[in-house]
Structure 1
Amino acid sequence: MGLFAKLGRSSDLVQGMASRLGIDYGEIVAADPQAQGQKYMRAVLRCSTCRNQDGCSDLQRETTELPEAPSYCRNAQLLAHLRGS
């Protein structure tokens, strides 16, 4: 998979996981584009290094809501923080 395809998939997975946790990433980034945009890009980059993207994709296909990010998620801490904000 090429770099841009990998980053696109990772962006979709980050957005999808956030959505299933009740987090509106678009709203968060819109509130502070510079700071939150950088945090979002770091989340996408972390996701792009995950070895379980297929499992994450399968999980997101199977459910529309989650109580928390799965333990293997490299963004679990960030998402828990955003959810608590």
Structure 2
Amino acid sequence: MDRSITIKRHAALFDDMATQLGMDLQEAAIRGALSFDEISEAVTRCTGCSNPTDCAARLQVTQVAKDAPTYCRNVPLLHRLKAGM
């Protein structure tokens, strides 16, 4: 898969996961709780996910989730952001 397509796909997955968990990444960045470098690193971690197809399917059927799936490589970051809300 083309690298730019992969990055766009995983950027969307990361943003959708955050949204599903009740977080707005743009708002978090504006208030200084999340740097643009952290977003970039999170997307890069997401590209190494072993289950992006399952993640995408989960995001399509679930409106609101309590937590990210255990295989999510961004669980620590998402927990930190959620705790800071």
Q: TM-score range by the shorter chain?
A: over 0.9
Secondary structure of 2:35's match? helix
Secondary structure of 2:65's match? coil
1:11 aligns with 2:30: no
Unaligned runs of 5+ in 2: none
- TM-score, normalising length: structure 2: 0.93
Divergent runs of 4+, >6 A: none
Task: Indicate the residue corresponding to 1:52 in structure 2.
Answer: 51
The structure whose residues are more often helix, as a share, is 1
Unaligned runs of 5+ in 1: none
- TM-score, normalising length: structure 1: 0.93
Query: C-alpha root-mean-square deviation of aligned residues, in Å?
Result: 1.4
Shift of residue 28 of structure 1?
A: 1.2
Secondary structure of 2:73's match? coil
